[in-house]
Amino acid sequence: MPEKYKDEGFKVSDRRLFSSEGDLRSDVVEEFVPTKEATPEVEAPATEAAPPADAPPMPTLAEQTEQADAYRKTNRSMDEAISKELGSTAADLEITFERFLGSIYMTALMQMGMAHEPGGQPRLDILGARQTIDTLGLLAEKTKGNLTSGEQTFLQNALYELRMAYLEVTNALARGPQPGAAGPVIK
């Protein structure tokens, strides 16, 4: 092997702006503040839409940091109050990917009238349900290969069940009311 290829090695750099806890990493802040001179003008790919001309400017890094700190402080005080009142811990309230998917799943069921708030009436929002199911499909597509087996199973099962329920609801709507069929039981 030629001498120039021996022991060159490589360096791994963590370029993430936030830690796993969601805190802004101070060791990379300066590295990612672009300057006009250092940022070459590059035309955006055709697949990316440019922000509208009247869109508000993106918050500065300082504004984002201040907002993130205030958000965490509020959550800490809320977690303490909940802990005292209900005996729950912050871990009980932590959002996970599966809880996020479960929330979307329940939203779709409610939009199809298959679930409702306690004491409330079922309501049908078939277009909203379609968009919610399509959102889950988009998440499945965009997260392919990045999920744990449990997350993948949950997502695929939720999509299957919601798509089947959607077909049942839309087929029932297409058939219309059946003569002699009882309406929904309202308690």
| Whether the predicted pLDDT of 90 surpasses 50 | yes
The residue to which tokens 């965490």 are assigned: 72
pLDDT digits (tens, 9 = 90+) for 14-37: 666 666 666 666 665 554 444 444
| Whether the predicted pLDDT of 117 surpasses 80 | yes
Residues 6+ apart with CB under 8 A from 62: none
Whether pTM > 0.75 for this model: the answer is no
Gap between the Cα atoms of 60 and 53, Å rounded: 18
Residue 179 backbone dihedrals phi, psi, to 5 degrees: -65, 135
Q: How far is CA 49 from the centre of its chain?
A: 21
Residues 53-72, mean pLDDT to the nearest whole number: 90
Q: What is the mean pLDDT of the chain?
A: 80
Between the two ends of the chain, the Cα-to-Cα distance in Å is 81
